[in-house]
Amino acid sequence: MTRTLYIAAPASGQGKTLITAALAYHHRQEGRRVRVFKTGPDFLDPMLLTEASGHPVLNLDLFMVGEEECRQQVTAAAQDADLILVEGVMGLFDGTPSSADLAALLGLPVLVVMDASAMAQTFGALALGLKNHDARLNFAGVLANRVGSPRHAQLLASSLPASLTWWGSIMRDPALTLPERHLGLVQATELSDLKARLTLAALALPEALRCFDQLPSMTFQTPTLSTPPERWLDGLRIAIAQDHAFSFLYPANLSLLRTLGAQLTFFSPLRGDPLPSCDALWLPGGYPELHLTSLAAHSHCMATIRQHHEAGRPILAECGGMTYLTQRLISKEGGHADLVGLIPGKAAVQPRLAGLGLQTLQTPQGELRGHTFHYSRLETTLPPTTYARNAQNEEGEAVYCKNGLTATYLHSYFPSNPRAAAQFFLGHPL
């Protein structure tokens, strides 16, 4: 028997990540076994939720992961968890499929977190509208965030009809926020005071904690064991960049590579680590534009990557990893650095979002799903080999292939097509 909760909101930026993390951290400190999932193709929120829960946070997305796999992941987690928390994405009904679709599929009770900083009794009307909009949902209640005073909290609570459960409020306080930058939250490993923030947030949730303890437990069936894929990468050595500049890695992708037989080694271009001895290289997304000076200073590291490419060995470069391979990367403020130079041209960070959404890449092995989310634009003379497609079947992100290199803004979710993902590291994906 496992208690479960789906934490949603009427829009992005309402504070649901902090609430989810605070609940996870509190119960973990109480000695309970906590598992947390994040809806959608997100890298940054799962980093923070991993720190809060003490367990890797997997992504649930009906398009990218699929209905059956979403069920299987939650069912498997329930076998050894006292509680499961799932954080939603954007607004509760935003997107196709939406957070509401996932909550309904999994049968989880929904808590809505609402930023009440600029409203009073209208709070109740909005909450009631969210509750009544979709009869499939098991609506657990509503929690008010960024409340101005105890009197403000009373007004909000009194605006709720009897059919809605009040989960309490959190006062407006800079200490009860999480810092952000252009792609979302600041990475958890960069927050030296994260535990203090989570402790303070948990202390601000006495009413929510009481409500959570009153939720009925759910019984989950034993998960179905799926047939593992063939070990297409048996013995293959894959080096993976991982540091503050390169950190956008789905845990499910790493797990799959190991299941396929790969041996994974991690290194830090930001520290100047030379490329380890390997058969293939993976440069994931992240924030290279925030570390231009440090990355450019490590010429030996970049030289080992060029040597790897000259030898014809495979490289997968996603988003920030691709911009690191350009001749020049330009920050939003206009600072620039000459980097690895395997991709002719330059990438420049824009003041506004340049790419966002779920996309599909057609490969000789079938459909590979993923997403794109970036502020930079690439200008290169290298012709695209193919393009991904978005949900409307329109042309999406370009994919560039050159002498074993595959470079694209697309972040692929490897379990959506293990055989296609394996080809990135065997040197012939498209």
50, 85 Cβ separation under 8 angstroms:
no
Give me the pLDDT at residue 139, please: 95
CATH 3.40.50.880-classified regions of the chain? 237-426
The string over 264-274, giving b where at least 16 C-beta atoms fall within 10 Å of a residue's C-beta and e elsewhere, is eebbebbeebe
Residue 223 pLDDT > 80: no
Give me the pLDDT at residue 188, please: 78
CB atoms within 10 A of CB 233: 26
CATH 3.40.50.300-classified regions of the chain? 3-213
Q: Which of 99-108, 188-197, 288-297, 398-407 has the lowest mean pLDDT?
A: 188-197
Three-state helix/strand/coil letters over the chain: CEEEEEEECCCCCCCHHHHHHHHHHHHHHCCCCEEEEEECCCCHHHHHHHHHHCCCCEEECCCCCCHHHHHHHHHHHHCCCCEEEEECCCCCCCCCCCHHHHHHHHCCEEEEEEECCCCCCHHHHHHHHHHHCCCCCEEEEEEEEEECCHHHHHHHHHCCCCCCCEEEEEECCHHHCCCEECCEECCHHHCCCHHHHHHHHHHCCHHHHHHHHCCCCECCCCCCCCCCCCCCCCCCEEEEECCCCEEECCHHHHHHHHHCCCEEEEECCCCCCCCCCCCEEEECEECHHHCHHHHHHCHHHHHHHHHHHHCCCCEEEECHHHHHCEEEEECCCCCEEECCCCEEEEEEECCCCCEEEEEEEEECCEEEEEEEEECEEEECCCCCCEEEEECCCCEEEEEEEECCEEEECCEECHHHCHHHHHHHHHCCCC
Going by C-beta distance under 8 Å and a sequence separation of 6 or more, which residues neighbour residue 374?
183, 285, 319, 320, 353, 354, 355, 409
Homologous superfamily in CATH for domain 237-426: Class I glutamine amidotransferase (GATase) domain (3.40.50.880)
For the stretch 336-380, pLDDT in tens is 999 999 999 999 999 998 999 999 999 999 999 999 999 999 999
Residue 12 pLDDT > 80: yes
183, 356 Cβ separation under 8 angstroms:
no
pTM of the model: 0.94
Structure tokens at 7: 């934490």
359, 410 Cβ separation under 8 angstroms:
yes
7, 87 Cβ separation under 8 angstroms:
yes
For the stretch 64-77, pLDDT in tens is 999 999 999 999 99
Mean pLDDT of the chain: 94
Give me the pLDDT at residue 180, please: 79
Q: Which of 19-28, 223-232, 310-319 has the lowest mean pLDDT?
A: 223-232
- Which are the catalytic amino acids? 319
Across 393-412, average pLDDT: 96
* Pairing between β-strand 280-283 and β-strand 237-241 as defined by DSSP bridges: parallel
Give me the pLDDT at residue 186, please: 79
178, 20 Cβ separation under 8 angstroms:
no
Across 280-309, average pLDDT: 97
Give me the pLDDT at residue 276, please: 97
Give me the pLDDT at residue 277, please: 97
- The CATH fold assigned to 3-213 is Rossmann fold (3.40.50)
Residue 190 pLDDT > 90: no
Residue 86 pLDDT > 80: yes
- CA 122, distance to chain mean position in Å, is 32
Give me the pLDDT at residue 428, please: 82
